[in-house]
Structure 1
Amino acid sequence: MTTGEAMSGLRRANRLAWAGEGGANSFLFTQYKYLAAFTAIFAVVIFLFLGSVHRFSTDSRPCKYTRGRTCKPALANATFSAIAFLLGAATSVVSGYLGMRIATYANARTTLEARRGIGAAFATAFRSGAVMGFLLASLGLLVLYATIKVFGLYYGDDWEGLYGSVTGYGLGGSSMALFGRVGGGIYTKAADVGADLVGKVERNIPEDDPRNPAVIADNVGDNVGDIAGMGSDLFGSYAESTCAALFVASISSFGADHDFAAVAYPLLISAAGLLVCLVTTLLATDLFMVKTVRGVAPALKLQPIISTVLMTVAALVVSFAALPANFTMFDFGAVKQVKNWHLFFCVAIGLWTGLAIGFTTEYFTSNAYSPVRDVADSCKTGAATNVIFGLALGYKSVIVPVFAIAVSIYVGFTLASIYGIAVAALGMLSTVATGLAIDAYGPISDNAGGIAEMAGMSRRIRQRTDALDAAGNTTAAIGKGFAIGSAALVSLALFGAFVSRAGVADVNVLNPKVFVGLLVGAMLPYWFSAMTMRSMGSAALKMVEEVRRQFAAIPGLMEGRAAPDYARCVRISTDASLREMMPPGALVLLAPLLAGTFFGVRTLAGLLAGALVSGVQIAISASNSGGAWDNAKKYIEMFTQAGASDHAKSLGPKGSDAHKAAVIGDTIAVPQHPDQAHGRRVPRVRAILRRPWRPDIQVDRG
């Protein structure tokens, strides 16, 4: 490649990165406008519900759990809970947005660093993911600590009311995560389906070919779904688990004795996790740098192992330094005697359960192992058998994670009641910076490869970005399994905090109200999934029709002599995701409110328990089926790569019937408003994407 060609490739890479950032900014800013209105309304709902419990009383009252103490008025608790909700929502939004900005900057830089070698490109991609991970964890910890200290100026000795109001912080974070994950998921899947079905299957062109009208929307979707959405999702789990642990601790002997170091034990565990993840990251990027393609995957896989080992040691130190040797915890009306080493084991079981779930998920979704290769083999006989094998794999992959979660729940509850479960969830999330770094690395590497393809850069650079993407696609499964497992423990911890605060001694399934709630709750994840899948299907249908229309209507598009209308595809995904994200979110948030208001607290307890049990199964099976279909497709695409196995070569090259069946299976992997609603941002993005086609933007076939 000549110097002039290299400079032309750099300019094209920067322009494409700018277009991707503009599209992501347009979507997120428009999404946040709608979420701002929702947040304000729901904050008022929280205020009305909590305040009405004691008729908006302004008089102090005896504390429910800390006998002999006086708690603040109901009006104050309702006000501070609503404020905490707004703070949690704002922190989640900031975490997702900044994560997206980091990723969009890193995409092009990773592509450019690939000119220097695989080690430089890996370091750029991984450091970018690590920046996002540390940003999320540290920002959540800082804002939560500041909220506690500021609220404490008013609450004083009323720690029960203080930490009860702080639980609104976790609810705000998880609410924004819900909409971010749903909206981003609909966006990215609609673009992915349009790009794959028409581009790969019908037109037989590469995945990131610049002739494909949906290619920019696909790259933007990776940023808003896998980066911003995943960041908000993990922040929601992190905030909820911390708030649940803080509240349960505040109504124990920690709160009665006003032992701040003991109550702040969850915060100390998270702070120790930041230091551990920093050391772990330095091992991969500075001390033992990646130098060859073969070193990429081992470097990524070592990250969760090293962080888990180091965090186990750190948890031991924190447990003995911050906690008294013996203390009592609230145990559904009884008092449970707990020792400091009990909580250490709770943290440790959460840590190692997360690692076990992550590597089990990797086994079922990596093309290095037999399950995904079996799915790839099934593509020989068409898409139908591919779908059947993929669904079966997803169902089978639930077994080990569920047993691992069950063991951690049993150990945590036996040692420290519901607080033990909350601490186990927090232990699993204590290495969230490393987990998110690995997860964000995948989309960054994927988009780096897309930019290299669209910019027409040399085959040598694309081979390096493909190697990064292949490793990230495998290890990303660890992050997804980690997120689902932590969400299960967090949900149970929150359920325990709810029944403790509501005064429910037990949840008896023989009670008809409880059983009805259990059935309806188990149905809700299916209802939610149906709504999101239908929304994605509707958006994907419009995307496929638009991509087909452009290939048929724009002369010279297939020959590379004309530019596709990228902006129109971006707008289809944006409008669909913004329009369709509200009903599923409303279902999740309103169902508990309606159940508790009209049918009582026991029906609500059954509803939450049913949704928890059913949701974990669906989440694990759907996620692993999707990962298996995706990697089966990539395994078949290894046909032309150097070093591909004989088995991969036997399945045929890109464009074969087996490859087309794999692409169709991959499209099944699932989890508006007029132009004027976008304000001034959509015209800016459209101007970027509709710049005149230049002759140097040709696909490099060399």
Structure 2
Amino acid sequence: MEGLIFIAPSAGIISLAFATFFANNVLKEHTGSKRMQEIAGAIQEGSVAYLSRQYRTIAMVSTMLMVLILFLFDDGLKVAVSFLAGAISSTAAGYIGMSVSVRANVRTAYAASSGIEKALSVAFRGGAITGLAVVGLALLGTSGFYILYGDVNLVVGFGFGASLISLFARVGGGIFTKAADVGADLVGKIEVGVPEDDPRNPAVIADNVGDNVGDCVGMGADLFETYVVTSLAAMLLGSLIVNVYENAILYPLVLGSTAIFASIISMFFVKLGREGNVMKALYKGVAGSVIISLVSFYFVTNSLMGNPGLYYAAFIGIIIMVLMVVITEYYTSTRYRPVKSIASFSETGAATNIISGLSIGFESTLLPTVVIVVGILASYFIVGGTTNPEIGLYGIAISAVAMLSTTGMVVALDSYGPITDNAGGIVQMAKLPAHIRKVTDALDAVGNTTKAVTKGYAIGSAALGALALFADYRNKVNLGGQSLNLDDPVVLAGLLLGALLPFIFSAVTMRSVGRAAFEIVNEVRRQFREVPGIMDGTARPDYGRCVDIATKAALQKMTLPGFLAILAPLLVGFLLGPKALAGLLIGLIVVGFMVALLMDNGGGAWDNAKKLIEDGAHGGKGSEAHKAAIVGDTVGDPFKDTAGPALNALIKVVNMVAILFSSLIMGKGLF
């Protein structure tokens, strides 16, 4: 069984090799006319400029933390090196996603002239590159440091580095993209009346740049760190039961390795059928990865563990993933009641649109919570949690690992979204024929759903993964056998502080979007007012000014949420003690999960209600319902693309800080 340890890094390398293969295929595609290349170049230039400045800012924070780790811990050098590697790997995952997206967009736009099948192929392969790069780097880094150090506890630094970068990428990218989007929509669509992606809108390039730095970089870094910390949590819990299952630490890595091959094979299943249904074509890939993973998990579990209950736990994780996808699509797709009801309420104005959207967001927390609760209980008891609680918790962690096993395919679906969104913008700005825009619109409509679906997937996996991380924290601070009673004022204080964190965090990020959007709105208004030639096409807008405003706002405002995530658990742990910090983690996991569901699903429903009206329902474009839906969408934008997704990263960063500093927190505090 010694050779098993090298399966994971080998799978990671193979995943990166296939990512390179797909990248070469995509880059061979035609880039279109000179005008298309100019537009794509502007988007690429803005994306690279923003990302470079963002990473310089993050590098300063990371360096300070690395020095702190170096001097605080006994194995400080090893932990600091793994922390740095985690930060660099997370950065690479995000950068690869952005680099591919800003090159695949114009190629997808040109491919649309040959029909929807060709355009779908280019866009999906572009997304697949990001998906395979994310899981390849995650598996390679986690397994590589475990092989190097031989102690899973020293790999915690790798997970912390990944989580920290993910948080900054999510917050910074979210502020940028939504400030630009809100500014472009409020002035362009409502006040001036120009259509989506119109080249006369001064914020249009910033909007397209935002799609890349928000969805590609943000989601790539988010699911990279989710994959890493969930695998790490399972390995940490596995180290507690190696006397019962000798392969308990390696088992999560082998599951991830086999799932990589399932994702690679399934990516070749994504083909447009005779019915021309794009969503069905993408779901073929998801179905293939699920089925192949389930079959391979059975043989892996029998060979390594000998406990059929662990296979059933993995099976439950896959079922949770499928159900989260189905539920999220129900609440955010234009085909179902929630989005249709918001569109209908838009006929009576923005107020009723916003009321109905909030109602749908609140409602959307029910089914995912039930699914997660049933999954937790089933995974715990089915592996024997009643006789050995540590094995039960390990079963929950394995369920989370299995849920994340399809990350390669899921990230491919998510990255497909901004590629098609940008492709539609390039077609519009280059003034290509209407039949080409019709193709990109069809692809983009599906992309909106895939982006929403992946957010629901990320939230569910964060909840399961965070529970496993919390179990490891309790063990590290010797709270494993103690009850965390609600009548204990220390626990209750921590619980309330943890429940407070998502609200304060969301307030900070939402306010940042509002302030940045305020500046962009005023800038767009100024250009329309002072440069009259913009509207008749005789004058060129100053696109760079809006990009610069969004960039500065994102960089200035992303540091406070990051420091909040780091300082909150440290202050509670050192001042109030490990028991209060345990309460904080529980409150954060529970409330953060609910608020993230509300924001992501509500925001996605608002977005697609607007698109449903733009497709002709309830009066179509330019109607009063359309104007109300635009207002609702601008409220939902920071919900679903800034605060909501960033809560996933917040939950895991706080848990990783608690685990990393657990040895220093023990014995500290007033209680």
TM-score (norm: length of structure 1) = 0.84
How far apart in 2 are the matches of 1:634 and 1:586? 37
How far apart in 2 are the matches of 1:313 and 1:430? 13
Once the 2 structures are TM-superposed, how far is the Cα of residue 500 of structure 1 from its aligned partner? 1.0
Q: Does 1:662 align with 2:629?
A: yes
- Where do 1:149-164 residues align within 5 Å? 149-152=147-150, 162-164=151-153
Q: Does 1:458 align with 2:447?
A: no
CA-to-partner distance for each residue in 1:308-334, whole Å, 9 max, x for gaps?
2221111111111222x3xxxxxxxxx
Say which of 65, 77, 84 aligns to 1:42.
65
C-alpha contact 2:241 2:248 (8 A) present in aligned 1: no
How far apart in 1 are the matches of 2:629 and 2:524? 20
CA-to-partner distance for each residue in 1:496-528, whole Å, 9 max, x for gaps?
111111110232222110000001110110000
CA-to-partner distance for each residue in 1:129-156, whole Å, 9 max, x for gaps?
111101110111112222122223xxxx
C-alpha contact 2:36 2:427 (8 A) present in aligned 1: yes
| Structure label with greater radius of gyration | 1
Question: 1:130 — aligned with what?
Answer: 128
Amino acid at match of 1:468: L
CA-to-partner distance for each residue in 1:468-494, whole Å, 9 max, x for gaps?
001121232221110110011111111
- Where do 1:322-361 residues align within 5 Å? 322-323=304-305, 325=306, 340-361=307-328
How far apart in 1 are the matches of 2:65 and 2:318? 34
Say which of 10, 29, 33 aligns to 1:10.
33
How far apart in 2 are the matches of 1:183 and 1:251? 38
How far apart in 2 are the matches of 1:292 and 1:106? 25
Question: 2:606 — aligned with what?
Answer: 629
Task: Name the count of aligned residue pairs.
Answer: 599
How far apart in 1 are the matches of 2:275 and 2:633? 26
Amino acid at match of 2:567: L
How far apart in 2 are the matches of 1:628 and 1:295? 21
Task: Call closer, same or farther: CA 1:185–1:371 in 2, change over 3 Å.
Answer: same
SS of corresponding position for 1:556: helix
Amino acid at match of 1:382: G
C-alpha contact 2:166 2:225 (8 A) present in aligned 1: yes
Once the 2 structures are TM-superposed, how far is the Cα of residue 8 of structure 1 from its aligned partner? 12
Once the 2 structures are TM-superposed, how far is the Cα of residue 363 of structure 1 from its aligned partner? 0.3
C-alpha contact 1:237 1:486 (8 A) present in aligned 2: yes
How far apart in 1 are the matches of 2:269 and 2:147? 35
Once the 2 structures are TM-superposed, how far is the Cα of residue 224 of structure 1 from its aligned partner? 0.3
Question: 1:178 — aligned with what?
Answer: 167
Question: 2:88 — aligned with what?
Answer: 90
Q: CA RMSD for the aligned pairs?
A: 1.5
Question: 1:500 — aligned with what?
Answer: 475
Q: Does 1:303 align with 2:285?
A: yes
How far apart in 1 are the matches of 2:597 and 2:562? 20
Amino acid at match of 2:241: S
Question: 2:566 — aligned with what?
Answer: 589
SS of corresponding position for 2:277: helix
Once the 2 structures are TM-superposed, how far is the Cα of residue 189 of structure 1 from its aligned partner? 0.3
How far apart in 2 are the matches of 1:276 and 1:105? 27
CA-to-partner distance for each residue in 1:10-46, whole Å, 9 max, x for gaps?
1111111111111111111111111111111112333
Deviates further, 600-609 or 498-507:
498-507
Question: 1:490 — aligned with what?
Answer: 465
CA-to-partner distance for each residue in 1:77-111, whole Å, 9 max, x for gaps?
x3322221111111100000011001111000000
How far apart in 2 are the matches of 1:187 and 1:275? 35
- Where do 1:548-697 residues align within 5 Å? 548-639=525-616, 648=617, 651-669=618-636, 670-671=638-639
Question: 2:56 — aligned with what?
Answer: 33
C-alpha contact 2:424 2:440 (8 A) present in aligned 1: yes
SS of corresponding position for 1:216: helix
Question: 1:425 — aligned with what?
Answer: 400
Once the 2 structures are TM-superposed, how far is the Cα of residue 249 of structure 1 from its aligned partner? 1.2
Once the 2 structures are TM-superposed, how far is the Cα of residue 302 of structure 1 from its aligned partner? 3.1
CA-to-partner distance for each residue in 1:173-220, whole Å, 9 max, x for gaps?
111100100000000000000110101111111110000000000000
SS of corresponding position for 1:562: coil
Q: Does 1:384 align with 2:351?
A: yes
Once the 2 structures are TM-superposed, how far is the Cα of residue 252 of structure 1 from its aligned partner? 1.9
How far apart in 1 are the matches of 2:184 and 2:536? 17
Amino acid at match of 1:573: A
CA-to-partner distance for each residue in 1:406-440, whole Å, 9 max, x for gaps?
11111222223221121111111000011111111
C-alpha contact 1:305 1:355 (8 A) present in aligned 2: no
Once the 2 structures are TM-superposed, how far is the Cα of residue 263 of structure 1 from its aligned partner? 2.1
How far apart in 2 are the matches of 1:291 and 1:362? 21
Once the 2 structures are TM-superposed, how far is the Cα of residue 293 of structure 1 from its aligned partner? 7.4
SS of corresponding position for 2:114: coil
Q: Does 1:473 align with 2:440?
A: no
CA-to-partner distance for each residue in 1:236-264, whole Å, 9 max, x for gaps?
1111011111111123225x88x4x4421
Q: Does 1:189 align with 2:189?
A: no
Percent of aligned positions that are identical: 45
- Where do 1:74-473 residues align within 5 Å? 75-76=74-75, 78-152=76-150, 162-253=151-242, 259=246, 261-284=247-270, 289-290=271-272, 294-323=276-305, 325=306, 340-414=307-381, 415=383, 416-473=391-448
CA-to-partner distance for each residue in 1:550-583, whole Å, 9 max, x for gaps?
0001131000111000000000000000000011
Task: Call closer, same or farther: CA 1:666–1:471 in 2, change over 3 Å.
Answer: same
How far apart in 2 are the matches of 1:622 and 1:123? 31
SS of corresponding position for 1:205: coil
C-alpha contact 2:239 2:248 (8 A) present in aligned 1: no
Question: 2:659 — aligned with what?
Answer: none
How far apart in 1 are the matches of 2:274 and 2:190? 33
Amino acid at match of 2:53: T
Mark the runs of 5 or more structure 2 residues left unpaired by the alignment. Answer: 1-29, 384-390, 640-671
Report runs of 4+ in structure 1 exceeding 6 Å deviation: none
Question: 1:157 — aligned with what?
Answer: none
How far apart in 1 are the matches of 2:248 and 2:241? 10
Mark the runs of 5 or more structure 1 residues left unpaired by the alignment. Answer: 1-6, 52-74, 153-161, 326-339, 640-647, 672-702
How far apart in 1 are the matches of 2:571 and 2:518? 34
Once the 2 structures are TM-superposed, how far is the Cα of residue 306 of structure 1 from its aligned partner? 2.9
C-alpha contact 1:169 1:243 (8 A) present in aligned 2: no
TM-score (norm: length of structure 2) = 0.87
SS of corresponding position for 2:106: helix
How far apart in 2 are the matches of 1:580 and 1:248? 36
Q: Does 1:542 align with 2:519?
A: yes
C-alpha contact 1:397 1:620 (8 A) present in aligned 2: yes
CA-to-partner distance for each residue in 1:589-632, whole Å, 9 max, x for gaps?
11001110111000000001001100000000110110001000
How far apart in 2 are the matches of 1:300 and 1:128? 13
How far apart in 1 are the matches of 2:31 and 2:476? 63
